[in-house]
Structures are given as C-alpha cells and as structure tokens.
Structure 1
Amino acid sequence: MKSELAEVANDMVDTNKKYLIWNNKGGVGKTFLTYNLAVEYAIAHSDEDVVVIDACPQSNVSEIILGGNGVGEENLNNLRDRNTTIAGYIKERFSNSPLARLGNESSYFVKAHSVNPKMPNNLYLLPGDVDLDICSRLIAHIGSSPVKEAWKKSRSLLIDLIASFEADKTISERPKTFFIDCNLSFASYTELGVVASNRVIIPCTADAASIRGIKNLVKLIYGVSIDSTEQDEMFLDFNKEAKQSKIEFPKLHLFVQNRSRTNESDAAKAFKSHAEEIKRITSELLKTHPHLFTDESIDDRVKHVKDGNTLAAIINHEGCPLSNLQHKSYTIYGMATQANKAQIDALEADVNGVVSCI
C-alpha cells in the first residue's frame, strides 16, 4: 500500500496547465513571448502559482526575470555557482541518482520576487543554464541504460522536478501553471519539455523558415507529415520511443504569430502569403487531426502579437513586466530610449489577448 501511495505522489497534477512554447526554428520570439505570457498571466491570476522553466542554454528568460541586463546575469551566475539550475539538477541526477529522484527537487525553483522585486509575488523560476548542451549527453547516457524503462526515466527528469514542486505543500496548495521556454533545436533537453508539458504554444513569424519549423515540430512530436511526404525515420525516433513508453503527447493549443508588422509593399505581400499559409496549415490540421488539439472552444487558433521593438529592449534591460512600462524615457547603457504609450498599449492588448486563451 505504501509503495502505491508513493507512486501516486510521483505523478504530475493533470489539472495544472503546462505550456511548451516551442518552434523548431530560431528568431520567432519564443523567449520574449514566454516572458510576457508568464508574467502577465501571473499578474492576472494572483490566486495561482506561475512557474517559468528555462529549458534553453541561452537562459535569456532567466536573466530578464532575475533583474534584466547585467543584474539578471549576475544573479543567474550566483544560482549556477550553487547548481540551482535545470542543468545543475540533471548533472546531480547523473552523478548520484540517474533513475530515481534526489528528494530535494523543489529546492531548484526560485521565487522570482525574492531576487527581483519587480516580479509578481506568485512567479517562480527554474533557471536556465549554458550547461544544458552538456546535459544532452548525460540524458542520452541515462536513457541507454539496460535498466527497464531507462529511456522513459531519462526523459522524465523535468516531470520529476515539476511533480515535486506541485506536491510541496510548504510552497502552496494552489493551482499552478507552467511555461516552458525551449531552445529551437530538438535536443534531448527539449524532449524533457515535450514529455513534461500538456499543451503547446507555437510562436511563429510569417516566413518560409518558420513554416518549415511548424511542419518539423508536428512531425517530430506527433509523427504527422503535414505535406503527406515520406517520413524520414530519424524524424520519428522520439515519437516511436514515446509511444513505446506510453507517454501522452501534449496537445496543440495556439499558434502565435510574432512580429506582425511590415511596411514595404513587396515585403507586405510576402508577409501576407506566409501568414495565410500558417492559417491554412492550422485549419488543415484541425480538420484532419483534431485529436492533436486541446478541446477548448477557441475562435481562432492563430493569434497575433506585434513586434516589441524598443519595448523589448527596455524590458530586457529593466527586468520589469510589460504592464508596468510607462510612457517615458528609459536609460539603456547610458542612452535615452523612449517608451511610447501607443506602442505599450498595442503590445499589451495583443499579449492579453493570448493570455485570455490560456
């Protein structure tokens, strides 16, 4: 009986939403979108705990949350020195307990407000780490063990962290919502995010490379070819392993078209055609593979968020919520940078439009 109870405690809470924010393409604004959605969601839902998981070696979302340029980097380095990062946990597991939890998983999460008072009081962070690239080899090594279910356990490291955080009553017993910021590559640490999530938000831009990234994502995770082309076996490795391990795949929730603005007429035409192609892909997937999507009633699965432009630079530097920006001049590296009210209002309206669907 005791072992059965322990097994139940090891499971994640199904009712808690866990968003993977990923596209198999760089430069689509994944990190800035993750930051804005998580922080504004936390502000709007003070009765929940909101957790950002930085599963990207660049650790940009961690630096913003921890204080912005300079300060955020220093605070992140202090956490790295103490191994209080996602990579620190993976390395500790590899060295001491590859196939079972350490027992201190929830200690790897940082309350953002305690480091950066500009952050909402209900926001937590599992910090990123440049050593995640090294961890790819460690995860693969754990997964290659002859022990039963070694692959599944190696890809469940993030589940172990999340489930322990959810179960820690010293933190809170409130609902929790997670946002996982991923690197563009489908590395093994990205697989951790896929396995731990139950919903996917796909950031994209209106260009051909971003469309290829969407198609790759659908193929890599679900084993579905949007173009009905012959499947490359290498693309299906993760999907096959996950199915054999009886892992439940996350559901597609939203496509968020970032940087939705252009001025030149030729560029505008290309932009429009690519934007229409993204909408077509989404509609086609909904028609042919409805089981891949969340079952919530959403009028339009493709949302638009304007380019942050100057505001992104200010937020990166200040480490503050978008909704706290003011119509004034900010100093960035000794240079005056103006935050325009019209820009703030427009970006905030777009972000809140996405937050309302989360």
Structure 2
Amino acid sequence: MLVYGYWNNKGGTGKTSLCFQSICFYAEQNPDKQILVVDVCPQANLSELLLGGLDNQGSDKLLAIQGMVPRATIGGYFQQRLPSPFTIPPGVRFDDYITAPSEVNDEIPSNVRLICGDPLLELQSNAISTLANTTIPGTNAWMAVIDWLRDLLDLASDQYDVAFIDCNPSFSIYTQIALSVVDRLVLPVMADDSSRRAIQNAFSLVYGLKLPSEIYSQYAFATRLRAENRTLPMVHLITKNRITQYITDASAYAAVLRSIDSDVAGLLASNPEMFTFSNLEDGFVSIRDFQTTGVVAFAKGTPLYALKPGKRQVMGRRVIIDAEYKDNMVKAMDTLVAKL
C-alpha cells in the first residue's frame, strides 16, 4: 500500500481541500484501486467533506460516527491503544473504524473508505506523549507509540492499494504517528512569506535539517526513526495553492514563489534522498484559487469534476459557478493527480 501524506507546518494553505479533491479525482480515475483515507486531524474537516459537507449534514453524520460503540474514528482506535500502548490488543478490528463515504454521499467514488478524524486527538495528545516518553528496559516506548497507526494499517494492508492521510499542521505526537507511515509527502504552499518559512520548518521538523543546536538532534523525529532503520517520508509534490490569475512574474507574490523554488532547488542538490523527483519542475504544481467554485464544492462535499456550472443554492444563498473557471480547476487537479 502506497501512502500519501498532505501536511504543512502552517495552517490555511489549503491542505485539506487539496487532499479532498485529490482523493476524489484519484479514486474516480482509478476505479480498480481501493483507496483508504485516514483523517489524522482533530478538526476532522476532511471527514466532514467526504460525508457530505456543511450543506449536506456532513457534520451531523460525523457526530453520529463519533458516537458509535466502538467509536469509529482514529480517536476511537487511539482510545483502545491507551491501555495497551506497546502491543496492539487482540480485540482490535480494522473494520470497526471504517466508514464508506459513498453510502451517505453519492458524489464520492465507491472505492473510497475512510477512518474519520476526531477532536479526541487533542485530549489524547498529552497522554500519548507521556506514554511515548516512558522508560521501560528493553522497550523503545517512543517507537512503539509512533507505530500505532502502522499497527492498524498492517491489519488491512492487503485490502488497499493507496492511502491518503490528512495531517494536522502541528507537529504534535499524533502528527508524528501519521507521518511515520507516509511514503510520499505533498506540501501545499501559498504565495506568502509565511509559507516559505513553513516549508523551511517542515524540512527541519521531519528531516532534522538546520536545527538550532546539536542538543535537539538526539530527540529529532528523523534521528529517532533512522535509529530504528525506518525510512522517512519523501517529498513528492509541492503544490503552489490558491494562486490567482492576477499573479504575474513582476509581482511580489511571484517573487515569494520563486524564492521557494530556490530553497527547494538547494535542498534537492544537497539532500536528493529526501525527494522522489530529481528535476525541480517535476516536483511542483500550481493550483489556482478555487474561489466560488471551491466554496460550493466544499459546502456540498462534491468533487470539482462533479459540479454543475450555473446558479446554485448554498446555505440559503444563490451563487454562480462559472463554467470556464470550473473547467480550469478540474484541469489543475488533473495535473496534480497525474503526478501521484
């Protein structure tokens, strides 16, 4: 099973919206493949989108799933692991945490299965971190905890071809648990300097680059995984997201994007093992701002390709989906998915 992770150390980069569209486009174009989605984010926005969006009671459907016994979410699984942090309990069943979004949202391809997100992750975070720092002779407690998601996926690795994981912007313990199983990393950025800093932070947090002191190196995510001969996720795509048609080569925004290109080019030369691509242009894709088209898509939990242009009713308001703009969005997502 090939695992893609969508993550950036900065919120608001369009990570979840891109992940949602990528999942739907990929599943639609690959009907013979079984797709697993894991929402490792306490906001659970990706789960709400897949279950129908705000306009189609996606939030209510998610609450119902969170109220099931056992709780059919990533938080429900972690809840079962808290009393048994170092070995997976024999009673854990993978199917207990699986939801089929197409059963409640006709717009989602039927080959997609979801492990829903859960606000419990925030409550569980301190307890999980404490367990990971426990000293037990002969046991690497941190590694055992980091493997929680891997343990779950191993129960059904032969059932799925590709997995998509939506990660929280923080680098908390549940984000590290998620990133530890990722093969290919998708990093969304926007045309602002904070996105450039976030990219630099991402490489520091995941790969241990340019840490301020050697003191931090021994505790770094990369150091601890490598000590156990584990592979790190490889950067597969950097998506320049929410680009507008007004950005030109002379604009300040374009200058920021070029500086991100330059930063990545330097890392590609110095640390090629961190990337799945060797040519800079192969690792970038530009996505225009979804604008009204995106608002409608996410309010209704609908992939862009399934949206009908024209006048629509969204949350009691009439909006217009421009056919040409929508087609441009579909082409942009096709370009992204073609690189997966």
TM-score range, shorter chain: over 0.9
Superposed displacement of residue 182, structure 1 = 1.1
**Partner letter of residue 75 of structure 1?**
K
Is contact 2:222–2:232 with CA below 8 Å preserved after alignment? no
Report if the CA contact (8 A) 2:268-2:278 is conserved.
no
Verify: 1:209 aligned to 2:194, yes or no. Answer: yes
In the alignment, is the contact (CA less than 8 A) between 1:91 and 1:138 conserved in 2? Answer: no
> Which ranges in structure 1 are unaligned for 5 or more consecutive residues?
1-15
Q: Give the match for residue 245 of structure 1.
A: 228
Q: CA, structure 1 residues 139+247, in 2 after alignment: closer, same or farther (shift >3 Å)?
A: farther
Give the TM-score of the pair, scaled to structure 1: 0.88
CA distance in 1, matches of 2:127, 2:116: 18
Deviations 1:97-144 (A, max 9, x none): 222223312321211112222210101111001111112112212212
Is 1:100 aligned with 2:82? no
SS in 2 for 1:254: strand
Indicate which of 301, 304, 324 corresponds to 2:283.
301
- Identify which of 268, 274, 290 aligns with 1:292: 274
Sequence identity (%)? 28
Structure 2, unaligned stretches of length 5 or more?
Answer: none
Which residue identity lines up with residue 108 of structure 1 in the other structure?
Answer: Y
The reply to whether residue 282 of structure 1 matches residue 264 of structure 2 is: yes
RMSD: 2.0
Given that residues 106 and 164 in structure 1 are in contact (C-alpha distance below 8 angstroms), is that contact kept between their aligned partners in structure 2? no
Question: TM-score with structure 2 length normalisation?
Answer: 0.92
Aligned residue in 2 for 1:221:
206
Instruction: Return the match for 2:98 from 109, 112, 115.
Output: 109
Contact map agreement 2:247 2:253 (CA 8 A) in 1: no
Aligned: 1:141 with 2:130: yes
Q: Secondary structure at the match of 2:155?
A: helix
Q: Does 1:319 align with 2:291?
A: no
Contact 2:9 2:198 in 1 (8 A): yes
Give the alignment partner of residue 162 of structure 1, picking from 153, 161, 166: 153
Q: Which residue of 2 aligns with 1:77?
A: 63
Distance 1:37 1:231 in 2: 38
User: Which of these residues, 121, 142, 159, is aligned with residue 132 of structure 1?
Assistant: 121
1:31 corresponds to which of 13, 16, 27: 16
Provide the aligned length of Structure 1 versus Structure 2. 332
Determine helix, strand or coil for the equivalent of 1:256. strand
Q: What is the aligned partner in structure 2 of residue 195 from structure 1?
A: 180
* Residue of structure 2 equivalent to 1:176: 161
Counterpart of 1:259 in structure 2 is 242
Post-superposition offset of 1:283: 1.4
Partner of 1:346: 328
In the TM superposition, residue 231 of structure 1 has moved relative to its aligned partner by 4.1
Indicate the SS of the match to 1:259. strand
Match of 2:110 in 1: 121
The Cα shift of 1:305 comes to 0.6
